[in-house]
Structure 1
Amino acid sequence: MTVSREVELEGHIIDSGMMGTAFSIIMDMGGEFAVEAFDIGRHKDEASYARLLVEADDEATLQSIIHELHQNGANPADPTDATLQPAPADQVVPHGFYSTTNHPTFVRYEDEWLAVERMEMDCAIVVGRSADGSPRAYTKVLNAVEAGDRIVTGDTGIRVEPPERPRDSGGAFGFMEGGVSSERPSESTIRKIAAAMRETKAEGGEILAVCGPALIHSGAREDLARLVREGHVDMLSAGNGFAVHDIERDLYGTSLGVDTETLDHARHGHKHHIYAISEVIREGGIEAAVESGTIDSGVMYECVVNDRPFVLAGSIRDDGPLPDTITDAVEAQDAIREQAHEADMVLMLSTLLHSVAVGNCLPSTTRVVCVDINPATVTQLLDRGSAQAVGMVTDIGTFVPLLADELDGA
């Protein structure tokens, strides 16, 4: 005896690949399907609709198929309110809690659909009340769950809406469709990225730069500082090493002991980074070192004098670290999360680990640009789920100056 359930697909389900994905999931997981209704949108601004009857040999298989379909945008045709269970203790969620994707998500509560706030992947959904008493749904990471929080469990009463592939390339973001290529004309792509940044700013959006030390080593420091100074970058996320080498360049003219102008190894240059850390500790922090005049150039300098917030997340590899580096991993995650939720566009510049950390906190609707010399890094980052993303496989020391020049020429 088979069991069955109806699911619906709506939107640009053909050209986005959503419908083909649904068919593959059902067949690969041992189920069968029948298309009960199919209405095709015949113009670019018209959505399509399909209703599928999904069948499986047993309830467990059917539930697994429905769960996977749900993660990819297929929703039950007969929605009911979401199931809520109280968290039994702080940092403890009920069994079978719903673990979020990074796609826009809605929860059905008291026969109404609530948009889930602060969307990011791998979180629980809590349903509570706003200050005015109206219901609201929002995400919480597991370590932030409090006893008694009403947690969404199971898959009922939940609607996921993956962003769809644009039907045309109009607008500054039309080219951002998850592509990764080292063969695209770099200057042409950079012009489009610059246009996307201008559009983000014109819309009142915030741009976050996630930076790795290679940016300093490659000689792009002054150009990134220019982007910060002129307001093209609103926030910075990096590690201890990035800030250390930026400050080392200011104090000693080197990065990792190498003169970034002549590429000569400075005498005792291998000590410069630890000397730089020592000087900042002596001052009491980066801001204090800027105010005293000890630091008078560079990316961190521009962040301080132009009031651009930055997060330096530490690791067990760090020398020092700088007083500004957040060494508690959970505290660093929370700081990164706050930046990620404020960002409307993110530039991931030659750093895999910090970009993954930020990417984990981003909803799939956030515009992302990823640049790295390693194709595997770019692919891994873009595969994390943003629908509006572009990757460039190129030298960061070439990319940042060209981007700064393009934005200056606006």
Structure 2
Amino acid sequence: MNKRIIELSGHIIDSMTLTRTMAITMDKGGEFDILEIDVGRKKSDTSYAKIEVQAESPELLNSILDELSVLGAFIDEIREVNLVAAEKDKVAPEGFYSSSNHLTHIFYDGEWILVEDIEMDCLVVVDEQKRRAFVKPIANIRAGDKIVVGLDGVRVTPPHRSRDKQQVFEFMNSDVSSEKPLMNLINGIADEMKEIKAKGGKIGIVGGPAIVHTGSGKYLASLIKEGYIDVIMAGNALATHDIESNLFGTSLGIEVETGKIVAHGHTHHMRAINRINNSGSIRAAVEDGTLTGGIMYECVKNDVPFVLAGSIRDDGPLPDVITDVIDAQKLMRKYAQEVDMVLMISTMLHSIAMGNLLPSRVKSICVDINPSTVTKLSDRGSAQVLGIVTDIGTFLPLLYNALHEDD
């Protein structure tokens, strides 16, 4: 049998890390022996386990260890990280280490080095002259890059579930359900937002057009104006329908305030795009008086950056939409490293995209009427996401009110 010893430490029982370690090992056809275990007896105590993982082949053992490393399992025998130079642009050496979104260090030249700008599904590259490690998506790999291969010398530290009384973000370990205590969650999110802003932190919004369709655009606009939101990431649709609602009072041709169908209202979003094109940009439309309110207006007036990532289904699109998705991804990647919290609201594709870019340290909330949106985020590895299944037309007004309870 091929064997390696791993170590687990932290709140490994409360977080089910120990149980999941054993389950993964058995499910993949391996075996394990618990060599040592120390269970914390107080809420502040952590636990520790030393486990021997066994498999019939080196390939199977590496496959098991690869999955366990994402849980925070550390191979007991400390070895130098293995670096192999890429031979071609966009081509990594076989057996390259694929990163998780958790805090990661590598053991290089006798010391542990932090992997900067951590993101899942990337490669870890080492700058040997500057003694720095950072991640790169495979599309950015260049010939000569020194890339981490294998699991030796890699230590992953996932966020652990607290042993104190349950907090709002502890619900991330429960099933996706519409039966969670909505007001308790919203009040908890509001408290977290206030705390982040009090410390000078940043909060981002990833939003879909349903924010406007449900009449909640005014609440998001107010949050931007009041300084709660530091960056907006969306597509052509959110901006288009927000501008439509400001220019014509409709969204998808429906009056936002009354819900009435407007004659020829289905053309309003195209007319909105046309007016912005005439001004030249969203900022220019604000400056020349064409656009006088709404989400995008408040972004311009309050210098809140926005990333509008294009897609093949876009009408127009607006002149500010980034039609090269790789360029849009680069900008989203930049802001993903700068924020302390992200609210992903009613947009499946943008939420999943942002979830893939976020470090697990970022407190993340996904709000959608469709449970599968939240489930897909979790399945992709964004386990830190707090999922709330509800109508955005309910969520945003309640969140706004919770943020102003003491006013």
Confirm whether residue 285 of structure 1 aligns to residue 302 of structure 2. no
Match of 1:193 in 2: 189
Match of 2:5 in 1: 6
Confirm whether residue 362 of structure 1 aligns to residue 361 of structure 2. no
Q: Distance in 1 between matches of 2:172 and 2:200?
A: 20
Match of 2:59 in 1: 60
Confirm whether residue 123 of structure 1 aligns to residue 122 of structure 2. yes
Contact 1:168/1:174 (<8 A) preserved = no
Give the AA of the match of 1:277: I
Secondary structure at the counterpart of residue 360 of structure 1: helix
Contact 2:344/2:365 (<8 A) preserved = yes
Secondary structure at the counterpart of residue 7 of structure 1: strand
Contact 2:169/2:386 (<8 A) preserved = no
Match of 1:180 in 2: 176
Give the AA of the match of 1:40: V
Q: Distance in 2 between matches of 1:56 and 1:217?
A: 54
Q: Deviations over 1:230-264 (max 9, x none)?
A: 01111100100110000001111110111111211
Q: Deviations over 1:247-288 (max 9, x none)?
A: 001111110111111211112111110010011011110000
Confirm whether residue 380 of structure 1 aligns to residue 376 of structure 2. yes
Confirm whether residue 80 of structure 1 aligns to residue 79 of structure 2. yes
Q: Distance in 2 between matches of 1:305 and 1:370?
A: 27
- 1:219-234 aligned at under 5 Å gives the runs 219-234=215-230
The CA deviation at 1:177 is 4.7
Secondary structure at the counterpart of residue 61 of structure 1: helix
The CA deviation at 1:139 is 0.3
Match of 2:339 in 1: 343
Match of 2:38 in 1: 39
Contact 2:377/2:385 (<8 A) preserved = no
With over 3 angstroms needed to count, the CA separation of the structure-2 counterparts of 1:310 and 1:179, relative to structure 1, is farther
Match of 1:270 in 2: 266
Q: Distance in 2 between matches of 1:236 and 1:179?
A: 28
The CA deviation at 1:363 is 1.0
Q: Distance in 1 between matches of 2:124 and 2:222?
A: 40
Structure 1 window deviating more from structure 2 (180-189 vs 223-232): it is 180-189
- 1:127-138 aligned at under 5 Å gives the runs 127-129=126-128, 134-138=130-134
Confirm whether residue 216 of structure 1 aligns to residue 216 of structure 2. no
Match of 1:26 in 2: 25
Structure 1 window deviating more from structure 2 (80-89 vs 30-39): it is 30-39
The CA deviation at 1:343 is 1.2
Q: Distance in 2 between matches of 1:391 and 1:365?
A: 16
User: 142, 153, 158: which one pairs with 2:154?
Assistant: 158
Give the AA of the match of 2:372: A
Contact 1:382/1:390 (<8 A) preserved = no
Q: Distance in 1 between matches of 2:19 and 2:184?
A: 33
Give the AA of the match of 1:189: L
Match of 1:89 in 2: 88
Which sections of structure 1, spanning at least 5 residues, go unmatched? none
Match of 1:331 in 2: 327
The CA deviation at 1:47 is 1.5
Secondary structure at the counterpart of residue 300 of structure 2: helix
With over 3 angstroms needed to count, the CA separation of the structure-2 counterparts of 1:172 and 1:4, relative to structure 1, is closer
Secondary structure at the counterpart of residue 397 of structure 2: helix
Secondary structure at the counterpart of residue 357 of structure 2: coil
With over 3 angstroms needed to count, the CA separation of the structure-2 counterparts of 1:174 and 1:34, relative to structure 1, is closer
Q: Deviations over 1:97-116 (max 9, x none)?
A: 11111111111100111111
Q: Distance in 2 between matches of 1:387 and 1:3?
A: 31
The CA deviation at 1:341 is 1.2
- The CA RMSD measured in Å over matched residues stands at 1.6
The CA deviation at 1:203 is 2.1
Give the AA of the match of 1:219: G
Structure 1 window deviating more from structure 2 (253-262 vs 67-76): it is 67-76
The alignment's TM-score, normalised by the length of structure 1, stands at: 0.95
Q: Distance in 2 between matches of 1:198 and 1:225?
A: 17
Structure 1 window deviating more from structure 2 (390-399 vs 273-282): it is 390-399
Q: Distance in 2 between matches of 1:61 and 1:93?
A: 21
Confirm whether residue 107 of structure 1 aligns to residue 99 of structure 2. no
Q: Distance in 1 between matches of 2:34 and 2:171?
A: 33
For these two proteins, the number of residue pairs brought into alignment is 406
Confirm whether residue 401 of structure 1 aligns to residue 400 of structure 2. no
With over 3 angstroms needed to count, the CA separation of the structure-2 counterparts of 1:240 and 1:390, relative to structure 1, is same
User: 237, 241, 248: which one pairs with 2:244?
Assistant: 248
Q: Percent identity?
A: 51
With over 3 angstroms needed to count, the CA separation of the structure-2 counterparts of 1:383 and 1:28, relative to structure 1, is closer
Q: Distance in 2 between matches of 1:387 and 1:42?
A: 26
Q: Deviations over 1:310-333 (max 9, x none)?
A: 000000000111010000011011
Which sections of structure 2, spanning at least 5 residues, go unmatched? none
Contact 2:5/2:52 (<8 A) preserved = yes
Structure 1 window deviating more from structure 2 (275-284 vs 374-383): it is 374-383
Match of 2:16 in 1: 17
The CA deviation at 1:87 is 1.4
Match of 1:317 in 2: 313
